[in-house]
Structure formats: C-alpha cells, structure tokens
Chain A
Amino acid sequence: MSRYSVQVAIIGGGATGVGILRDLSLRGISALLIEQGDLAHGTSSRFHGLLHSGARYAVKDPVSALECAQENAILKRIAPNCIVSSGGWFVQRPEDDPGYVEAWLQGCRAAHIPVLEVPVSQARRQEPLLAKDILRVFEVPDAAVDGFKLVWDNARSARCHGGRYLTYHRVDEVRRDGNQVVGVRGKNLLTGEDFAVESSLVVNAAGAWADRIAASAGVSLEVVCDKGTLLAFNHRLFQRVINRLRSSGDGDIFVPHETITIFGTTSQRVEDPLDNQPTELEVKQLLSLGSALLPGLTEQRVIRVFAGVRPLHGEDSELNEPSGQAAGREVSRTFALIDHEAVEGIRGFLSVVGGKFTTYRLMAEKASDWAAAKLGSTSPCRTAQEPLLPDVPESLYREAQALLPCAAAEKMLERLGEEALPVLEAVRQDPGKGQLLCECEMVTVAEVEKAVADEDAHHLADVRRKTRLGMGTCQGAFCAYRALPLMWREGNKYDPLGVELIRFLNQRWKGIRPALWGEQLRETEFTRAIYAGLLALKESDGDSGGTA
C-alpha cells in the first residue's frame, strides 16, 4: 500500500481540481490531487471550449455573468497560450424575441460586458457562412479556450511549485476520525494496489462524481448531472464564436478552434456521470437547430460527436419539475462551496460544485482561501496575476521555426512552452524525429516520444489529450498506428499492441458512430480496411490476445 501525507488532499483532476492544486502550491501549502482517470478526462475536456464573456448569462444569471466577465479578462492575461481571443457575436434572427435583445443589452451593461453592435452588412462580409436573414449582431469578448491545455498547464505550474498529482487513482472513501476528516483511501487503478492519503483537509472537486465522494464521508450533496452534446466539424466554419441572441437553448453556440469548429449544445438530465454517449437523434436535432445560423449545416463534415456531463449544484435549483428536456438550464450555473462543518458538523471537508470552466480559477481561489484559513496560512492568492507558464523566449520560436514547418512549430510551442526545448534538441539530433506523426494536428514524432515518456502517460488516449494526436479528420486511422510502436518501445507499457490499438479505436468510434455519414463514413471504411484487413486485428484481440 502506498501512503502519502499532505496538508490538503484534492479529489478530482478537472479544471477546478488542478486550479486548487496550483493555487495552494503557490501559497506554499502542500497538496496532493487524486484523479480516477487522466487529468481533464471528464467534463473539463467535454465542453465547447468557449471562454464566456458572461453575455450568455446576462439576462438569466447576473451573478454568473459578472463572474465570467471578470474571469474572462484574467484568464486571457494569465493563460494566453490556451486562449484565442477571437471575439464572439450574438446574432438575432427574425423569429427571436426583440424584447429579449433589450433585456440582454441591459444585463451586459450591468455586468460590465463591453458590447458593440456590428452592422449586418459588415457581419455578412466577415462571416460569409452566416445566415443572410439576420436582424442584429453584437460583438462581445467571448474567446476560444483549449480545455486540455489549460488543465495541463495548471498541473505543470503546480508541479513546479511542489504540487503533486496521482492519475488513475480512484478515491473510495473520505476517511473520518469522529467528526474530523483525516484523509482519503482508494485504489491505484493501474496496479490494483491500495493507497492512503493522510491530510488535515480534503477538498472534493470531483465534478459529476462529487455526490459519491461526499456520500463516502457520510454527508449528502445533491449534484444534478446534465448532459450536453457537441459536434466537431472538420474546419473553421466561422472566424469567431457565434451565439444565438435569445434565451439560451439547444444548438446555439459555434466555437472555432484551430482547424475545427465545435457546435452545441444540448441540456438533458442524466442519472450517471458516465452516461455521456451521444445519440444520432441528438446529432440530427442539433444540425437542424444550427441551420438557423448556418444554412446547409447538414452538408458540413462532422468528424466527431461527444458529450459532457455538467455537474450542477442541485440545491441552488429553482426548479419545480425534477425531469424534462431543458431541466439543466434552469439550474443555476453559478458555483457553490459547501463547508460540511457548517451543514453536518464534519470538519475539514469542503465540496466545490457547479460553476463552469470559465470560472474554474475563481472557484479554486475560494476553495483555497477556505483551506488557507483553516490551516492558518496568510499567503494571498496569486493565481489572478501569475501567468501559468513563463513567456516563450523569442529565440525558442526562431529555433522551432528553423527545424519544423511554421504552423507545426507554433502549435508545439503553444502546447509545450519552454518544455519544447528537449523536443527541438531531439529533432536537431535526428531530423527524422521532426516528421509529422499526426498529419491532421501536426504533431511530430519527437513530441509524441516526449509525451509518451511522461510518467503519467498510461494509454494512447493520455498522449492524445496532451498532443491532440488523433483528434483531426482521420480520427486516428494513421496516427494510432504510428504512435503505438513508439509507445511500445518506450518501456513495454503497451505490449501487446493490439489491446491498446483496439481500445483507442473503440474510444474514437464512440464519437464517430452518432454521425456516421459523408466523408467520415468513408474514413471509417478506410480505418476498418487498415486495422481489420491489413493488420488482421479482431475485436477479440482487444481483450487479451495477439501482439498485433
């Protein structure tokens, strides 16, 4: 059994959890984060990647609107490499309620969100795919944010300041001594070994799993699981975030990222956080809704469908009806900190629930303030000022661009910052390592080798989350084949290869299946030809079987 001893144990490796880990580490408080999967494998990577300006909440949820507006500005400052300040538009269509527009403008003013009206003729020029019959367009400071990158950068920064995290470790119990929480215990899912953490405080940031964690400590917490389905298209349909200017509904946000666009979302209550399988019906409904903003959306190539489960805080709910399609949207999107001492008399245990990705830092600040106060620390929060990563020196840019194609160099530096140094060194020594292993997302052999060598890379999917490998149009058809042998060579973690290949293909398949048509269907045929035909893999090889 592995044992750890820290001041604060944090459960959950999403944006909130790593945010708390970083915040505490910057304050010099020792903290250990425990995550049952890989970092960012849950909701923090399963959203539209919209950094809210707050405008979306301007009418219904003024608190959220204000929080988002402030955090939007802070994150753009501290995490510029994770954010593309594309700006966002709110677009009113003829059928949208004009009364809402006025309420919205007022709400934005109240939350200090800068709004600029864009003449429709200009809007049509700047976004040629936008519907022609729109009435009014307003610009707000929405932006696109890369959830994986932001989570990893928080984790890296925390690590630099002494923070530690354990991935693939599941917490089974928050342990108590009388009314005092004394730590957690659980299982290392990779080795099956038990582990225990002794800590003065435990912070529950397990998102959609937070109620289960609370229950293990004998306290109750109501978390509403709200599933949101999203589509990824194979190119940038718009240059900026496009929102529908009406009371929030399904299928009214487009967010461009790098070379793709994410479109969503839906809102549906589900019982289980793992209930995140999107359906073909949802896809078709989304496409039909989105056609109001982008006519002919059905013809565009959907490369992937995915769903995240928003963990909303049940007790804030103004909801009378416990089920129903739009139920999730009625629940507040603000967050809540629950000190279980105040409620149930359990000391040293805090749950953070609700909120949204944009406000992760604020949630982390509040949770860390709580921990600092309990521990008698007076160090102030520094996360609103201190950049996540040091600036990449100009010389590193020049060097990268000399060794790699410009776009590949830039993408790599955005992902790695200064950690790109060893990658560049490897390419200098052996130019073959500058090859693009993943041609869709422009990831080099050397970068994949680096990600593979990381102690927290256990599956190909972990490497994918760090590098974006396999996330482009081929959805892994080529790069899964190319990456596995590299991973295998680095210490036999992935032997036999067939098991890992089939695991990865089936994960990708989950998101391709609900939109199996057009070019992605052709890609599917090709991928099956390679893996079932050429490599003669069978589904049964995924259980135990061959070496492939």
Chain B
Amino acid sequence: MMWDGIIIGGGLAGLVAGIRAQERGKQVLLISEGAGSLTFAAGVLDFGRMEELQAQENHPYALLGEQAVRDAFRYLIGLCPVYHGEWGRPQAVLTPLGMLRQADLVPFRLDASPLAGAREIILMAPEGLKDFFPEVVKTNLQKQFPGAAVRLQRLRVEEFTNWHRVGKPVPATVYAKFWCTRQGALTLQNLLQETALEVRSGLNPVMVIPGLSSAFCPGLAQTLDKAPWPVVEVTSFPPSPAGQGLYETLKEEFRALGGELLIGSGVGRVEIESQAVRRVIVKSRGKETAFAARAFVLATGGLFGRGITVSPTEVREAVFGLPLYVPAEWSGSAFLGEQPYARTGIAVDDRLRPRHPISRELLLTNVHVAGRMLAHWDPWLERCGGGVSLASGFLAGELL
C-alpha cells in the first residue's frame, strides 16, 4: 500500500500534522517510537515574542511567518475547544510552586486570573500528592496576592488510604484519574459542599486545586461549574494531567479522522532514490515491515525525543542521517541562559524540506521537518515551544 503521508514521531508536531492531513482527506500513517513528551509538559502552550523571534534570521518563526503561527494558534482552539487564549495576550497560570507565569494557550481553569480579585484563597492540599508542597505554594500565593487571606485546606480521599498508610506518594495523574471517575466527581462535590459552609462569599473566595485537569474530563468540569466560587487549577510537575489530556485528545482526534497509529516501534532503515524517500522500514518483534508513502514528516522530537543523537564525536539525525546545523560553541556557562546546543537541528526551506546547513542545497524533496527537529530555536529560553511545534506541524500537515 502507498500512503499519502507517513509521519515519523508522535508528539505535538507529529500529531497535529497527522490530524491536519487527515482533515484534508489524506491517508496517513503515524509511526512513533515512544509516547512523545507532552505528558512531561504542563499542558499549557507558549508562543513567545513573535516580533523578536521573527527578526532572528533563521528562526522557525522567520520561516513560517506570523500569519502561519496565528493560524496554528486558532487551529488548536478549534481542535481542542477547552483551550482558551487570545493572540498576543498571554494569560497567567500557576507553576507547581504556586508562582504566576505566563502562557498563551491555556486549558480552561488553569487560567489564574480569578485570583487577582480574590480576598480569600482556599488552597486545597490533597494528601500525599506527589511533588506538591502546600506550605510553599501557600506562602507564594500570599506574597503575590497580599490582599487575600490564603487558607490551606487538607483533603483526604478514602480511595488512597492504602497509599497513605505505606507512605506512597500519589502522582498527579493518578489523583486526576480518580477525580474523573463518577466516584471521584461525587467525592469532590461533597468536599465542595463541606467547604462552602466555612466560606463567606462576600470575600470573593477562589479555590486553588492541584492534581487534576477538568478541561479534559467533562464530568469533573460539570462538578466544578457548580462550585459557588471560581476554581483555579495548578500546572503539575511531570507527569502532568493536563499534558496527558492534550496528548490523549490529539491521539483520539487523529484516530477518529481515520489516521493509522503505530506506537512503540521506530524506523530502522530508509530507502531513498533520487532525493526522495520511498520507503521506511520498521523493525518490530524481530520482523521488518516496509511502508511506502508519497511524502514524509520528520517530527522525532530533537535531542530529548532521540531524533538527534549526540556522541563525543558526532551529532546525528537518527532516521535519515540528514546533516544538521550544529553551533560552533556547544554550551554556555549559565544553565538557564543561552545554550547554543539547544539550537541544533535541521535547516529547512519554506516548505519545511531539509537543506544543507551550509550550502543550502535541498536534500530531500518529499520530507517535511517539524517541531523540535528544526534548527535555530530554543523552547526554554524563548518560550515558544507550543508555537513552533503547532505551526510547523500544521504546515507539514498542509503540505502532505
């Protein structure tokens, strides 16, 4: 069988490319070695400072142009309506330590703006919630909202009694899953009612609840809608419920549109003829299977996704062995400052096709590169990870 497109890599960029291509009536196979890194991420999407980044000569934003990035922004809202955002007006969300930070596309209820008007903040502290430090969050909230009284309310769920007894921490994703059950929603409803008795509504109370993501769980969202005050959620230390929610939503959407998913096996070999990829060969359970397609998307997640591997002597693109842009200076002295290595990646033309980083010669005519595999950007310093991945994934899906 000849596929219209094969996407290699099942993270944000790969899934969006797949969804877009399926929407356009293409038959797409997505091959993913792992589960992408969305579950490690907070579930909020950053777009960064468009104007500044676009001005950098080789930045993906310069290549894609502002309109494409704006289109991708709107596209994601259409795809996942639980995401809210207005172009150019970042929202505040709470970090796992209870500090405010900005993000551009935010699942409903992670938006922390209700806190601004609160005179009382009720911080819920689910017992044993892993990597959550109620006292620190409480202090940080108090510092940032001096006009509000912050109250810590411990919360204990029968479901996890055995976990607590042996001292096993409950990951946010596990708590989140519980709240999504009927039993969980009921428990939460009761807790809200109990709390309501102690809260005076004249104080504009706002409740902060960590370890759940109602945006991806309609039953839970209904329960929280009925709360007599606004509820603000908190981004999670990995693994995160919201990140997982986004990952699952995109996967389901791709499948619902008829896309084929192959997760757990990577591409072992490729066949290239006259500057075009013909087939990729996947090795699974000791058996090799070849898949042919007219075009390919390479969205293998860069250094963290293992799309780029680095040894003491070599920096290598893992699937096609494409030449990479590798900065002359590899690292910088300040860990959270400029780290040139992060800009390693594939140089591309305006159709995201790989070019030689120096000669600029076109290398493969039917491959489009997306997401973290692109050269010349740093998602952590520039805070544009969501924007580059969405916009390049969307464009790749258009081009398949």
Using CB atoms and an 8 Å cutoff, list the residues of chain A in contact with chain B.
280, 283-284, 287, 298-299, 427, 430-435, 481-482, 485, 488-489, 497, 502, 505-506, 508-509, 513, 515-518, 521-522, 525-539, 542, 546-548
Chain B positions 329 through 360: 1 when the CB is less than 8 Å from some CB of chain A, otherwise 0:
01101111101011000000000000000000
Asked whether, in the complex, the Cβ of A482 is within 8 Å of the Cβ of B331, the reply is: no
**Inside 8 A of A530's CB, which chain B residues have their CB?**
237-238
User: In the bound complex, what is the Cα–Cα distance between A364 and B168 (angstroms)?
Assistant: 46
Contact B312 A481 (CB under 8 A): no
Known: A284-B312, A433-B167, A539-B336. 15 other contacts (CB 8 A): A298-B311, A298-B312, A430-B167, A502-B335, A506-B334, A513-B333, A516-B341, A517-B311, A518-B310, A528-B336, A528-B339, A530-B238, A533-B42, A534-B235, A547-B97
Closest to B165 in A: A431
Interface digits, B286-305 against A, CB 8 Å rule (1 contact, 0 not)?
Answer: 00000000000000001110
B 87-109 contacts with A by CB, 8 A: 95-97, 99, 101-102
Q: Given A299-B311, A502-B335, are A536 and B303 also a contact pair (CB < 8 Å)?
A: no
A-B contact pairs, 11 of them (CB 8 A): A431-B166, A432-B128, A435-B168, A482-B131, A517-B311, A527-B335, A528-B342, A533-B46, A534-B237, A536-B101, A547-B143
Can you name the residue of chain B whose Cβ is closest to the Cβ of A504?
B335
| Chain B contact residues, majority secondary structure | loop
Q: Are A539 and B165 in contact (CB under 8 A)?
A: no
> Is A532's CB under 8 angstroms from B167's CB?
no
Nearest chain-B residue to A302 (Cβ)? B312
- Taken together as a complex, chains A and B put the C-alpha atoms of A166 and B366 apart, in Å, by 68
A-contacting 9-mer, from B16-24, B271-279, B378-386: B378-386
Distance (Å) between the CB of A502 and the closest chain B CB?
A: 7
Are the C-beta atoms of A548 and B99 separated by less than 8 Å? yes
Count A-B pairs with CB separation below 8 Å.
Answer: 127
Are B335 and A489 closer than 8 Å at their CB atoms? no
- On B, residues with C-beta under 8 Å from A are 40-42, 46, 95-97, 99, 101-102, 128, 131, 133, 135-136, 139-140, 143, 164-169, 235, 237-238, 302-304, 306, 309-313, 330-331, 333-337, 339, 341-342, 379-381, 383, 385
Would you call B167 and A427 a contact (CB within 8 A)? Answer: yes
A433 to chain B, nearest CB (A): 7
Complex Cα spacing A542 to B334, Å:
10
The minimal Cβ–Cβ distance linking B152 to chain A, given in whole angstroms, is 13
A534→B303 contact, CB < 8 A: no
**Nearest-CB distance from B100 to chain A (Å)?**
9
Contact yes or no, A505 B335, CB < 8 A:
yes
A486 to B, closest residue via Cβ: B133
B303–A522 touching, CB < 8 Å: yes
Residues in A with CB closer than 8 Å to B341 are 516, 521
**Minimum C-beta distance from A199 to chain B (A):** 41
- The residue in chain A whose Cβ has the minimal distance to the Cβ of B137 is A485
Partner of A535, one of B96, B128, B133, B334: B96
Partner of A547, one of B140, B237, B335: B140
Q: Which chain B residues border A505 with CB–CB below 8 Å?
A: 335-336
B386 to chain A, nearest CB (A): 10
User: How far apart are B225's CB and chain A's nearest CB, in angstroms?
Assistant: 27
Q: Which residues of B contact A430 (CB under 8 A)?
A: 167
Give bound CA distance, A176 to B273, whole Å. 84
A546-B336 contact, Cβ under 8 Å, with A287-B312, A533-B41:
no
* Among candidates A427, A434, A502, A516, residue contacting B336 with C-beta atoms closer than 8 Å: A502
Cα of A532 to Cα of B330 in the assembled complex, Å: 19
> CB distance B339 to A517 under 8 Å?
no
Q: Which residues of A contact B336 (CB under 8 A)?
A: 502, 505, 528, 531-532, 537-539, 542
Inter-subunit contact B313/A525 (CB<8 Å): no
List A contacts of B99 (CB < 8 A): 535-536, 546-548
> Given the complex, which residues of A lie within 8 Å of B381, measured CB to CB?
532
Query: What B residues does A518 contact at CB under 8 A?
Result: 309-311
Judge whether B330 and A539 touch: CB under 8 Å.
Answer: no
Q: A516 and B237: CB pair below 8 A?
A: no
Question: Which residue on B lies nearest to A482, using beta carbons?
Answer: B131
Are B335 and A432 interface neighbours, CB within 8 A? Answer: no
Q: Which residue of A431, A482, A521 contacts B167 across the interface (Cβ within 8 Å)?
A: A431
- Determine whether the beta carbon of B136 is less than 8 Å from that of A526: no
Contacts of A488 in B (CB 8 A): 136
A17 to chain B, nearest CB (A): 31
The distance from the CB of B40 to the nearest CB of chain A, in whole angstroms, is 7
**CB within 8 Å for A432 and B304 given contacts A516-B330, A516-B331:** no
Which residues of the other chain, A, contact B385 by a CB distance below 8 angstroms?
A: 533
Pick from B42, B131, B303, B330: contact of A481, CB under 8 Å: B131
Q: A539-B335, A539-B337 are in contact. Are A485 and B133 (CB under 8 A)?
A: yes
Q: Which of A513, A526, A534 has the most CB of B within 10 A?
A: A534
Q: Smallest CB-CB separation from B140: which chain A residue?
A: A547
A528-B335, A529-B380, A534-B96 given; A485·B136 CB < 8 A: yes
Q: How far is the CB of A438 from chain B (nearest CB, A)?
A: 13
